[in-house]
Amino acid sequence: MKERVALIESALAESIPAEWNVPERLKDAMYYSLLAGGKRLRPLLVLAAAEATGAAFVPKAALLAGCAIEMIHTYSLIHDDLPAMDNDDFRRGRPTNHKVYGEAMAILAGDGLLTHAFYTMSEAAAASGLDAPHALALVSELSAYAGARGMVGGQAADMLGEQGVTKLEELEYIHLHKTADLIVCSLRAGARIGRATETQLEALTLFGRSLGLAFQIQDDILDLTGDESKLGKPLHSDEKQQKVTYPYFIGLEASREKVGQLTQAAVDAVAGAGFAKPGRLLEFAQYLMNRDH
């Protein structure tokens, strides 16, 4: 795992070529957030899904696809932290992008990363050797899962919901789109590069939805019971921001049970889809359920 993370870090560090004629401050702002560490969960899932297919796949294609999705994830954090959105001053223990570079540059760094994600995904598609329809599916799915019907829609619902999320279903819509969609996208991208069958892609969609939702509920739980030094942010921030959470609706214990049930559903989906090497995917499910940050 550590070795893979190192590979991903070095691919990300090279993702904006030195020869680009780009204002330095914009490039700095993009790299500031892109290279801020983090679990690199999404690129790791791309690699794990490609590996699960058991097919010969081009590692470079999977690595590039992982970088593309990490760029989307990173831009979304930059924009979500803006004063007009969640107004956060710290992220992973460091000042947020706009606190360092100013709001204008943070908006543009986000736009730049979002745009470059599609360049990087088209490079992944070219490296994958897939034919035109399948190569283009890598691009169009990234857009679908990241855009208005995906992650952006989830964030919009979250913003609108702050004026009062009243139902658990609304909270679930937010989590599914804000978090799960990009996880599903990562899995499908890796599997597509590994030449997965339609059935396998569908199994991974269910795996990713369940895991993404579990991941988010676990976030809610950690915000109440975690270790501040491991989380890199103060506890009870949801409460302070008057955000409704799973524990708020159904209590802490039922939330923990829900994480367990979703993890099992994820495991079952993948176990039944005839993957040649599903081991690492299944490890992920366990890891996410038991994480402390």
Q: How far apart are CA 128 and CA 136, in angstroms?
A: 11
Strand ranges (DSSP E) for the chain?
90-91, 94-95
CA distances from 80 to 85, 106, 151, 231, 236 (A): 5, 11, 11, 18, 18
Helix (H, G, I), strand (E, B) or coil at 91: strand
Residue among 217, 227, 286 nearest 255 (CA): 217
193 is a site residue for its own copies (CB under 8 A):
no
CB 222 within 8 A of CB 177: no
CB of 231 to its own copies, least distance (A): 25
Identify residues 219-258 at the interface with its own copies (CB under 8 A). none
**Residue choice 149, 236, 240, 293 for contact with its own copies (CB under 8 A):** 149
Is 155 or 179 the residue whose CB approaches its own copies more closely?
155
Token pair listed for 244: 């409704």
Is 156 or 271 the residue whose CB approaches its own copies more closely?
156
Is 1 or 160 the residue whose CB approaches its own copies more closely?
160
Is 58 or 144 the residue whose CB approaches its own copies more closely?
144
**Residue choice 8, 34, 146, 191 for contact with its own copies (CB under 8 A):** 146
Which residues fall within 8 angstroms of residue 182, CB to CB, at 6 or more apart? 42, 69, 72, 73, 145, 146, 150, 151, 212
Beta bridge partners of 95: 90
CB of 120 to its own copies, least distance (A): 8
23 is a site residue for its own copies (CB under 8 A):
yes
**Residue choice 43, 66, 153, 278 for contact with its own copies (CB under 8 A):** 153
Is 102 or 274 the residue whose CB approaches its own copies more closely?
102
- How many contiguous H segments (helices) and E segments (strands) does the chain have? 16, 2
Size of interface with its own copies, in residues (CB under 8 A): 55
Sign of the alpha-carbon torsion through 288, 147, 111, 43: positive
Region from 49-57, 150-158, 249-257, 266-274 binding its own copies, contact rule CB under 8 A: 150-158
Token pair listed for 228: 């501040």
CB of 169 to its own copies, least distance (A): 12
Strand ranges (DSSP E) for 46-126?
90-91, 94-95
Q: How far apart are CA 96 and CA 79, in angstroms?
A: 10
Is 139 or 235 the residue whose CB approaches its own copies more closely?
139
Is 130 or 196 the residue whose CB approaches its own copies more closely?
130
Amino acid at 1: M
Is 27 or 280 the residue whose CB approaches its own copies more closely?
27
CB of 39 to its own copies, least distance (A): 23
152 is a site residue for its own copies (CB under 8 A):
yes
Q: Which residues bind its own copies (CB under 8 A)?
A: 16, 20-23, 25-27, 30, 75, 79, 82, 84-85, 102-105, 107-108, 110-112, 114-116, 118-119, 121-123, 125-126, 130-133, 135-136, 139-140, 142-144, 146-149, 152-153, 155-157, 159-160
